[in-house]
Every structure is written in structure tokens, then in C-alpha cells.
Amino acid sequence: MAAVMELQELFNGILVQDLSEELSGFFATNLFTFGGKQFSIGSMVEILIQVVIVLVISNLTKQILKQRVFPGFGINVGTRESLSTIVSYVVTIIGFFIVIETTGINLSSLTVFAGAIGIGFGIGLQNITSNFISGITLLFEQPVKVGDYIEVDQMAGIVEEISIRCTTIRTINGVYVIVPNSRFLDNSVVNWSYREPECRLVIPVSVVDESDSLTVMEALLAAPRQEPRVLTSPSPEVYFKGLDVENSMLKFELLVWIERPIEMDSIKSALYFLIESEFRDRDLDTKAAPNDITLNDLPTIVQLFQKTEPQNGSTAPVLQSEKPISGWLLRDLLRKVSYFQHCSDVELRQVIEKGYRRKLSAGEVIARENDPGDSFYLILSGAVEVVVESIDRQVAVRRAGEFIGEMSLLLGTPRSATLRTIEDTILFVVDHSNLQSLLSSHGELADQIAEELSQRQETLKSLGVTVMEATKEETQFDVIRKRIRSIFDL
């Protein structure tokens, strides 16, 4: 039995030795000579393993820099991606040179070969070479970064990845598009995220030429105030672009600012819905009148005659019942305020551009005590109570034509009282930046506000609320007027 086991072990040893010799001979088989060095199968396997190790190290370096190192320096996502990609390419190139050196290849003998390869790349691989150089340019100059919202070749989307040959873009429809890097240098690229993310949207609108331009402007300015994605500063603007003679239409443009360009289509849609609603509330027509009257227009003609049909034999047209005050135009409400009642339409247009109308129900809080002052309010209708909550006392009731909320905004102090509606109220709201422009064009309004504010200071002082103290040389009115003119650079 022992003899049998010895024979078996001897046989196994011979097999292993033969197999080892065969494998050694297989890996030692010469394949070719390159750069003064003979390459066998074994040396090629060794080189392949080294190349894999270099690629793994390069990828790990990129991930560590992008996810752990660069975030600690406060670098934005796009710059982190570019820097980590560049470093990974440098590591890869250095690693390849190390692998070549370890194989014993004589690099000087590769000069002619490298030149020939370069000519081949230049002639046969022009597009690849162009994309490669473009990719290096994009990574170093960073006109486009990962995370940017861009438009190129009539295609819009977010940059997901910038590689050495191409860039991956995810469109707003969720489709991934591979774009060669040369496209970004050969064509004009719109980068909505470059430097500042804010951008301006232009909404063209046309109405029939019989429409009142001031009413149209009021409606267009009211719409963006209801869309939270539209920035309040810079404030929306309306441009009158002229008359479309052929179609008998007035052309306007609503200009608004947003900070998320990728949502521009959604915001435009929301604004058009709001504009349509505002136009309907003001009986503004966006449909051009027909040039020719045909039999199909007979129902419309009948309706037009019915609107002006006299009653009881009278020749006067039938007048529509007066609208409730909530449906009045903003210019009509402003004219009920003593200061604006003699303003022309042009002057009222300048005022309406600086603010917006806000409707509130009874019991709504407009501003809280100790809140920062960010808006100035003019009561157009209704009533507002002024309550000092710290002493639980109502100090005043303000009605149509009066100012509220001006003290903290004009003096740069927290609000000294809470403002609450006691009936349905309509306010004209002006924020800090627009108030400066308004007061600059209406200096008398600043003096009127200063006079009203000086009277209210006396009331608050009697209640123990901190107010501005006048000096012996100046009255309370002089101190407040000087402060207002200083704050708003009037």
C-alpha cells in the first residue's frame, strides 16, 4: 500500500512539473520586439496588470479629490469635477510612463515611431484629436462646467459629465445626449449658469389697439407678483413695443427675472396663465377684430347691439352696474389718494411700475412687531389697525389714503407695531429698492411721508416706544426728512 502511494505521489509530481514547464514555456514565448525589448506572453500579462493598477489608482484619486478633498475648500461642483478629472489624467499619464520604464523599453528609440503615430493621428483621426484638445480646453478654461444649464445646437440641458472626448448632457426631458467636445468650441453656446444664475425672461403679449395701455401695464405687472419663482428684485418691467398695424394690435413685453433657468418653460407657462386671468378680470381683449363681416358674425353683431340697446325709449346706452371696489383699476384706486388724485396717466404709470396691488381679507396680519421692515404700504381701500403687542394696545386705525409700514422701512429699524386688517383691504405695496426710485421721482411724497411720520413718532413716544429724538436746532420733521433723504440718497 505504501509503495502504491509513493508511486502516486511520484506520478503527481511529474505531472505538476510537466505542467509548470509547459506554462513557463508558454509565458516565455516571444511575441514581438519593440523599442529594443522583446515581449513575451508573460511580460504582456505583467504590463496589463500594471496598466489596470494605474487606472484604478487614477480613478480612486479622482473620486477622493471630488468627494472628500475639494468640498472642504468650498469649491463648487463644476470646478471640483474639472480639477479632479485633470488630476486623474495627469496620474494616468505619469503611471503609463512608469509602466513603460519598468518594462525596459528604450524611449529614445520610439521617437521616430511616435512621430509616425502623430502624423497618423493628425491625418486619420482629426475628429478625435480635435475633441481631445477641446476637452482639455473645456477642463482648464471651464466655460462649461458640470451642473451648468446650457444650450448648444438648439438643444438645452444640464451638463452631467465632461470627459476627454465628449460631454454628456441631460435634457429637460430626461434624455442623455453625448456631444463631441469640439461642438462647444466651434459653435456658440448659451450657458445660463455662467457666473450668475439669474436670467431675464421676455414674455411677448399683444392686445387689440383699442385697449388702454395703462390698464394693460397694470395687468402685466400684477401677474408675476403671483408667481413665487419670479424674483421681486430686480422688479418686473413692461415695455411698450409699438403697434402692429396689419393686425391692429398693441405689442407689449413683460420682462421678469428668475434664478432657475432650467424652469424657464414652466415659469413662462405659469405667467401666461396668470396674464390671461388678469386680462379677463379687466376685460382686455387679445383677439384682433375681423377685417370683414360675414354671415357667421351675425350672433356677435346682435350681442353688440344688445349692449347698447336703449331702455324706455331713451337714446342713451345702457350702463353696466358699477363694479365693487375690489374690481377697480389700480390707477382709479390711486387717484382716490389725495397725493395722486391730480397725477396724469404718465405719472401714474411711473408709480404703478414701482409697486403692486395686494388684496387681504379681514383679520389678516400684514406685518408683525419686531419684524424687519421690507415693504411700504399705501391703503387704497379698507382699514388696518396698528397694535403694539408689547403693551397689548391698539394705537391707531389707518384707512384709505393713509400710509402704513413706512417707519421701519424708512428709518432702518424693526417694525414697532403689528399691522392687521379689520375689514377687506386693498394695499399698494412698494419694496425698499422701488421706494427709493419712487421717492426720487416724487420728492413731495417724501416730505408728506416725513410729516406723517413725525406725527406718529409723537404718538409712539407717549406709549414708551423708542423713537428718533429731535435736537434743539431741528424739529422732529426736519430730523426724519433728513434721515429719509440720507437713506434713499435723495
The pLDDT-based confidence of 295 (bands split at 50, 70, 90) is very low
In the chain, CATH 2.30.30.60 sits at: 134-191
**Topology (CATH level 3) of domain 199-281:** Alpha-Beta Plaits (3.30.70)
Mean pLDDT to the nearest integer, 251-258: 93
Query: To the nearest whole number, what is the mean pLDDT of the chain?
Result: 75
Confidence of residue 469 (pLDDT cuts 50, 70, 90): low
Confidence band, pLDDT 50/70/90 cuts, at residue 202 = very high
Is residue 464 scored above 70 in pLDDT?
Answer: no
Q: How many CB atoms within 10 Å of residue 285?
A: 13
Q: Within the chain, which residue ranges are assigned CATH 3.30.70.100?
A: 199-281
Q: Averaged over 213-236, what is the pLDDT?
A: 88
- Residue 466 — very low, low, confident or very high, per pLDDT cuts 50/70/90? very low
What is the DSSP-derived secondary structure letter of residue 66? I
Is residue 401 within 8 Å of 347, Cβ to Cβ? no
Sheet holding 365-367, edge to edge: 365-367, 418-421, 383-388, 393-399
How much of the chain exceeds pLDDT 90, in percent? 9
Tell me which residue of 110, 132, 223, 228 sits closest to 180, measured CA to CA. 132
pLDDT at 471 over 80: no
Note the pLDDT of residue 76.
65
Q: Classify domain 134-191 by CATH architecture.
A: Roll (2.30)
Running DSSP on this structure, what letter comes out for residue 314?
Answer: -
Please report where in the chains the cell 408709480 appears, as a residue. 351
- The percentage of the chain sitting over the pLDDT mark of 70, rounded to a whole number, equals 63
What is the C-alpha separation between 77 and 31, in angstroms, rounded?
A: 47
What pLDDT sits at residue 320?
43
What global pTM score does this model have? 0.55
What pLDDT does residue 289 have?
A: 56
pLDDT of residue 271 exceeding 90: yes
Better-scored residue on pLDDT, 16 or 346 = 346
Helix (H) or strand (E) holding 481: helix 476-487
Is the CB of residue 396 less than 8 Å from the CB of residue 386?
yes
pLDDT at 370: 84
Distance in angstroms (rounded) separating the CA atoms of residues 171 and 63: 25
- Give the residue among 283, 437, 247 at the shortest CA–CA distance from 351: 437
Displacement of CA 359 from its chain's centroid (Å): 27
Phi, psi of 119 (to 5 degrees): -65, -40
pLDDT of 155 over the 90 cut: no
State whether residue 155 is helix, strand or coil.
strand
Query: What does the pLDDT read at residue 488?
Result: 55
So what's the pLDDT on residue 321?
44
Residue 187 makes CB contacts below 8 A (sequence gap 6+) with 152, 153
Sheet of 199-208, strand order:
199-208, 249-258, 237-244
Q: What pLDDT, on a 0 to 100 scale, did the predictor assign at position 317?
A: 43
> CA angle 127-128-129, nearest 5°?
90
Q: Looking at residues 59-81, what average pLDDT do you find?
A: 76
Q: Which three cell numbers stand for residue 320?
A: 353696466
pLDDT tens, position by position, 399-451: 888 878 777 766 667 888 889 999 999 888 887 777 767 767 666 666 666 66
Tell me which of 3.40.50.2300, 2.60.120.10, 3.30.1340.10, 2.40.110.10 is the CATH number of domain 330-487: 2.60.120.10
CATH code 2.60.120.10 region(s) in the chain: 330-487
